[in-house]
Amino acid sequence: MSEYNRRNFLKNAGSLGAALGVSPMVVPSRAWGANEKINVGVVGVGGRGSYVARAFGTVGQESASAQVTAVCDVYQKRINKNKDELATKFGNKVDGYLDYRELIARKDIDAVIVATPDHWHARIAIAAMKAGKDVYCEKPMCHTIDEIKAMIDAVKETKRVLQVGSQTTSADQWWKAKQAIADGAIGKMIMSQGSYHRNSTEGEWNWPIDTAAGPDKSGEDYIDWKMWLGGTSSAAFNADRFFRFRKYWDYSGGVATDLFFHVAAPLNICWPEPQFPHKVMAGGGTYIFKDEREVPDTFHLIGEYAKDHSVVLTSSMANSQHIPGLIRGHEGTIIMVDHGMFEARTDHITLKAERRVVGKNQAYRDKFGFDEKLTDKVIPVDMKDSMTSHVSNFLECVRTRQKPRLDVETAGCAQVLITMAVQSYRQGKVLFFDPKAFKVVDRAPRA
């Protein structure tokens, strides 16, 4: 790319229009041969991106369905390391790029993994879809409310498959809970609650820093800092911001976007239908980690929904004890994870009946197999690996053109909740969502 074009791209990259400024042509889906592999490109090959790339490679090898053929990052060392390791492990040539547009422009790439910092997710995902690629986009889905709407519209316009990479939504417990709720096991839904707590150096995003790397370096130590910023600011290079981006508002929502997405997304799967929140409020603060971070180390949110139920989520990076994750109804409660951590694998969920409401309801006891004492019912759950299931589901949908498990609309409902929570915390006020205008407002919209 010429320096002139690069400068103009960077000048305009701060607006969503830069993402949408790709050719609007919709590329039709093609038929797949039984043994034909899906070629995958990965944009962002830091810790998470390299893990996801290997997951795709492993699933692809087992099913002969996919192979990673290109990687991209703004840090040259990550490109070198991943393209060589993936080529060695999976037996095919892997190319490397500093500019994601070169990867997306390749006609032989069928699907793109987006595993960059949050502020690039929507831009790259939309560009990839408009170039005819299906997309596996890491959580959170994106960074702003406007980007949520733009991604939903792009999927509809291009008819591409987009799976959001919160792999826990492919765990069996959520689908078993969804069925139980649909069958009437908890009656009218009242409240969902969850937590995500941890207490470790990496848990609070103080990941290692490569002190030799930077935009003024050469060779594998080079970082394209201007590209990475993506128009968020014109800040001078800051290694803490680059290597520990989740600590800064420009690139992340902190606890909300890193952790609460893993709770909000599967809850929207369990519920009778995915829903946008009606009202959101948030609190917390930086109580322990007084370093360069802008985001709080302790964070809570309450989301209220028009269909008379609420979500209460709590989290801290300075204490590792969870509270039970559950969904409450008037007639019963489903405990999703006994010890509280929503991402954890489990071999069961538990249904507890409300004695006052259903104690004398023989029809309820017969339907759900309760004895007269209303002893808790344990519902077995398949212990399959959720990451493998999530990637397999995406690859299958690439071939069949079916809607993936965590589609853009369901993920968008979760993203609205957590993005509003970030805004509520930063603005110090209660916020409302107007779904018709698709925007956050200060007063409840008229019905």
**pLDDT per position as a tens digit, 163-220:** 999 999 999 999 999 999 999 999 999 999 999 899 998 888 999 999 999 999 999 9
| Distances in whole angstroms, Cα of residue 417 to Cα of each of 31, 143, 149, 276, 441 | 37, 12, 14, 7, 13
Query: Which of 245, 218, 213 is CA-nearest to residue 232?
Result: 245
Per-residue tokens: 281: 């409020």
pLDDT for res 203:
84
Pick the closest to residue 193 from 333, 287, 306, 321 (CA basis). 333
Is-above-0.85 flag for pTM? Answer: yes
Exposed / middle / buried, residue 432 (Cβ in 10 Å: 0-12, 13-18, 19+): middle
Q: Do the beta carbons of residue 148 and residue 19 sit within 8 Å?
A: no
Output the pLDDT for position 19.
Answer: 40
Q: What is the pLDDT of residue 339?
A: 67
Q: DSSP string spanning 94-163?
A: -EEESSHHHHHT-TT--EEEE-S-GGGHHHHHHHHHHTT-EEEEESSS-SSHHHHHHHHHHHHHH---EE
* Residue 168 token pair: 């826990």
Domains by residue range for the chain, with CATH: 3-169+389-407 (3.40.50.720), 171-203+252-384+417-434 (3.30.360.10)
Strands 279-285 and 431-434: antiparallel
Beta carbons within 10 angstroms of residue 232's beta carbon: 18
Cis ω for the linkage preceding 140 (within 30 of 0): yes
User: What is the rounded distance in angstroms from the CA atom of residue 341 to the CA atom of residue 414?
Assistant: 18
Tokens of 406: 């965590």
Q: What long-range pairs does 15-19 form, CB within 8 A, spacing at least 24?
A: 15/231, 16/122, 16/123, 16/144, 16/146, 16/147, 16/150, 18/123, 18/231, 19/122, 19/123, 19/124, 19/126, 19/127, 19/150
CB atoms within 10 A of CB 95: 16
Q: Strands 189-197, 309-316: parallel, antiparallel or unpaired by DSSP?
A: parallel
Residue 13's pLDDT is: 39
> What pLDDT does 343 receive?
59
CA distance 15 to 230: 9
Alpha carbon distance 40, 13 (integer Å): 25
Instruction: Using 50 as the pLDDT threshold, list the residues of the chain that sit under it.
Output: 1-26
- Six token digits for residue 57: 């490679």
Query: 16, 128, 29: which is closest to 70 by C-alpha?
Result: 128
| CB distance 414 to 277 below 8 Å | no
Strand bridging mode 377-380 / 189-197: unpaired
Classify 312 as helix, strand or coil: strand
> Beta strands of 286-368 (E only): which ranges?
298-305, 309-316, 325-329, 332-337, 348-353
